[in-house]
A and B are shown apart, each in its own frame.
Chain A
Amino acid sequence: MARAEVQPLRRYLELEAADRFFDRAVQVRVGDLVRGTSLGGGLAGLAGRSVLIATSSQLTSALALIELDGVARRITILPPDVDRAHLNALVADAEIDAVVIDDEGRRGSYNLPICVVCSPGIAPLTESVPAAVGTEWILLTSGTTGVPKMVVHSLAGLAAAIAPRTDNEPMVWGTFYDIRRYGGLQIFLRAVLGGASLILSSAGEPVADHLARLARHGVTHLSGTPSHWRRALMSPEIGKIAPRYVRLSGEISDQAILDNLRAAFPRASIGHAYASTEAGVGFAVNDGLAGFPASFLDGVHDGVEMKIVDGSLCLRSAGAASSYVARRGILRDDDGFVDSGDMVERRGDRYYFVGRRGGIINIGGLKVHPEEVEAVINRHPQVRMSLVRPKRSPFTGAIAIADVVLKSACQRAEDEADVKNEIMTLCRNALPRHKVPAAISIVPALAVAATGKLARRA
């Protein structure tokens, strides 16, 4: 399914006539970049450079990516939530010698030879586009502590899972993800390669406002993590959108969220995809069921081979990253497989994700993945989302505690107690006794990190 030949991103604008990119403040006719530039005369100076894209808005990042692919030697995409204290380490490792910003005021923040300001106003291109080079795309992992790892991709690899379009229907992509992370970047590339429009969120924009804009621009394809979707389902504005395609990835899609989305969008095609910054896109599941068919492990599917080693899913494909920047750590094994650290378990003819290798709670020597307990809790019809976390216990080392957000708040304390008891019963019937949460708290909300994933404390 990989494209036979991948051209610099700017060329796709000529081929597919990508439409408009929107954020809260502006809309841009992206096709104007074919003979225009958003870099104010700075494009030629970035040729062959290692460029940090550090704009504040997603929209200007999108424009800079289109302009610099095939021009810069290397582009490093800085997600907005990265701790600035790590900046010097990132700049040194990726040998960054130029930065693109969109806020004049930040010009002094980067001690780099070249600083170019990107603006959403596209001006005619007076210089010629420098000769095409193969550009390295550097993405940052969303590890919770320490300096993020820098992962080396190419456009061909990033686009490996994106099938050429076979229809001419108008396509309007929306993403709850930030396009400066792997999951969001996939959507950005689908929009550019597929000649679609793209609706981006703006920093600090309330979910309801974002949904209202998605509705106004007629979103047809919408992507986010299960946490994003749970939050969206809590907004009354959800009823205003009617996407043809609903996509989930970035976290485990349990049956409850798939069923809730099916109820909200009865006519949409609903798919959950598996991907990671390091391993690339693994697969998409479109049958409405959680987990994935065991047959995915047989042979090569859409260019991806998978195997399970000590419970962890390992993948090999053209979509995987080639290495970490400066060779910090081993990304692929000798056979080219990337160990995802995502743990799976076989039940019947399907595999189910049970959690992260590092996220295991050890209860008196017995292992519990928070996600497998959350999947059971989320089956309760009144539960919107849940977080299972460890609590220190001198008797067993740790116990599991569940924080639960309900779809609607209970009016009476007795109702809340009833719901807690029902959840407890559900867990006892479905889980071995060490996996049953020791206590359940009903909470008004759960924090979702900037990556769109439920915030789990390390």
Chain B
Amino acid sequence: MSIKLTIMEQMVQVAREQGRTLAPLRDDLALLDSGLDSLSIAVLVARLEDRLGTDPFTSAEDVHFPVTVGDFVKAYENGAR
């Protein structure tokens, strides 16, 4: 499964677990408008570390906060390269 697909699948899963309503996901959708709150995103990142073996937001010294869903996915794709 591609990194992007894994992330999308986990977004849906975490939103369901956290009782959040997920907006239709597009690359230019602001993460804060996705329906996921801070806790959901933190949980999502922990879950993805389990699946993808990397956490691009906590391992880096200076954290670049992802603004859009596309940024978020790109952080993982860049880390995988």
Name A residues whose Cβ lies closer than 8 Å to a Cβ of B: 363-364, 391-396, 399, 401, 424, 428, 433-434, 438-439
Contact of A363 among B39, B45, B57, B63 (CB under 8 A): B39
Given A395-B57, A434-B39, check contact A439 B63 (CB 8 Å): no
Q: Tell me if A439 and B38 are in contact (CB < 8 A).
A: no
CB of B67, distance to nearest CB on chain A (Å): 13
- Provide 6 A-B residue pairs closer than 8 Å at the C-beta atoms, listed in order of the A residue: A392-B58, A394-B65, A395-B38, A395-B42, A396-B39, A428-B17
Given A391-B58, A428-B17, check contact A439 B39 (CB 8 Å): no
Task: Rank and list the top 6 A-B pairs by shortest CB-CB distance, nearest first.
Answer: A438-B46, A395-B42, A393-B42, A439-B46, A396-B42, A438-B43
- Nearest B residue to A400 via CB reads B46
Contact of B45 among A364, A393, A428 (CB under 8 A): A393
Q: Tell me if A394 and B46 are in contact (CB < 8 A).
A: no
Q: Tell me if B17 and A394 are in contact (CB < 8 A).
A: no
- Nearest B residue to A398 via CB reads B42
Name B residues whose Cβ lies closer than 8 Å to a Cβ of A: 17-19, 38-39, 41-43, 45-47, 49-50, 57-58, 63, 65
B-side contacts of A438, CB under 8 Å = 42-43, 46-47
Give bound CA distance, A434 to B42, whole Å.
10
CB of A422, distance to nearest CB on chain B (Å): 14
Interface centre among A399, A401, A424, A428 (most CB of B within 10 A): A399
Give bound CA distance, A438 to B39, whole Å.
9
Contact of A401 among B17, B19, B46, B65 (CB under 8 A): B46
Q: Tell me if A399 and B17 are in contact (CB < 8 A).
A: no
Contact of B42 among A399, A424, A428 (CB under 8 A): A399
Q: Tell me if A439 and B42 are in contact (CB < 8 A).
A: no
Q: Given known contacts A391-B46, A395-B39, A395-B57, what 18 new A-B pairs fall within 8 Å (CB)? A: A363-B39, A363-B42, A364-B38, A364-B39, A393-B42, A393-B45, A394-B65, A395-B41, A395-B42, A396-B39, A399-B46, A424-B17, A433-B19, A433-B39, A438-B46, A438-B47, A439-B46, A439-B47
Which secondary structure dominates chain A's binding surface?
mixed
A-side contacts of B65, CB under 8 Å = 394
Q: Tell me if A439 and B18 are in contact (CB < 8 A).
A: no
B-side contacts of A401, CB under 8 Å = 46
CB of B49, distance to nearest CB on chain A (Å): 7
- Nearest A residue to B60 via CB reads A394
A-side contacts of B45, CB under 8 Å = 393, 395
- Nearest A residue to B64 via CB reads A394
CB of A437, distance to nearest CB on chain B (Å): 9
Give bound CA distance, A434 to B40, whole Å.
9
A-side contacts of B43, CB under 8 Å = 399, 438
A-side contacts of B57, CB under 8 Å = 393-395
Interface centre among B38, B47, B63 (most CB of A within 10 A): B38
Give bound CA distance, A434 to B39, whole Å.
7
Contact of B18 among A363, A424, A433 (CB under 8 A): A433
Q: Tell me if B58 and A393 are in contact (CB < 8 A).
A: yes
Give bound CA distance, A391 to B45, whole Å.
11
Given A428-B17, A438-B47, check contact A394 B63 (CB 8 Å): yes
Interface centre among A394, A396, A434 (most CB of B within 10 A): A394
B-side contacts of A393, CB under 8 Å = 42, 45-46, 57-58
A-side contacts of B63, CB under 8 Å = 394
A-side contacts of B17, CB under 8 Å = 424, 428
Q: Tell me if B49 and A439 are in contact (CB < 8 A).
A: yes
- Nearest B residue to A397 via CB reads B42
Give bound CA distance, A396 to B58, whole Å.
11
A-side contacts of B58, CB under 8 Å = 391-394
CB of A395, distance to nearest CB on chain B (Å): 4
- Nearest A residue to B59 via CB reads A392
Give bound CA distance, A401 to B49, whole Å.
12
- Nearest B residue to A365 via CB reads B38
Interface centre among B19, B38, B42, B65 (most CB of A within 10 A): B42
CB of A98, distance to nearest CB on chain B (Å): 52
Give bound CA distance, A137 to B57, whole Å.
51
A-side contacts of B38, CB under 8 Å = 364, 395-396
Give bound CA distance, A433 to B46, whole Å.
15
- Nearest B residue to A420 via CB reads B50
A-side contacts of B50, CB under 8 Å = 439
